[in-house]
Amino acid sequence: MRCWLIKSEADVYSIDDLARDGRTMWDGVRNYQARNWMRDEMKPGDPVLFYHSNGDPPGVAGVARVASAPYDDPTQFDPASLYHDPKSTPAAPRWQLVDFAFVERFPAEVPLPLLKADPSLDGMELLRKGSRLSVQPVTEAHFQRVLALARG
């Protein structure tokens, strides 16, 4: 089992949206490294930190879990979608995704400044300068530390 972090803008799709929906496909990822992690590394049941990237400050809002095996992102084939990829075809798809399911919303977000100030989170991908991937691995130690910060 591996641990992960996914980012979303709260006004686009928040942890509360995931709680309401119960489960969602993580569509529209158009970065090859993020796609490769979803396609090749994520397994159903893997725990996931859900990060709101546009908060003031941004922060980790809760926990989800990987809820499916990878499958083709349907938005790549839809000309009306913002995520349409005209070079991708059903016979040769370029983009895959997984579903995520709601697990827990934290009582309060764990804000980015608190994460940055915690020496036990040194090396966490999220905290690296220039790290912008919307899907990224998290070590189990970092995952557990964020949970501890969230739960006081």
pLDDT confidence tier of residue 93, bands split at 50, 70 and 90? very high
65 forms beta bridges with: 47, 101
Token pair in block for residue 130: 């220039």
- Residue 87: predicted pLDDT: 95
The whole-model pTM stands at 0.95
Residue 66's pLDDT is: 98
Structure tokens at 65: 């879990």
Residue ranges and CATH numbers for the domains of the chain are: 3-150 (3.10.590.10)
Which amino acid, 138?
Answer: V
Tokens of 117: 């100030």
Q: How far apart are CA 16 and CA 98, in angstroms?
A: 19
pLDDT tens digits, residue range 35-64? Answer: 999 999 999 999 999 999 988 899 999 999
pLDDT value at 78 more than 90: yes
> Which of 44-53, 123-132, 140-149 is the least confident region?
123-132
| pLDDT above 90 (res 1) | no
The structure tokens listed for 50 are 């859900």
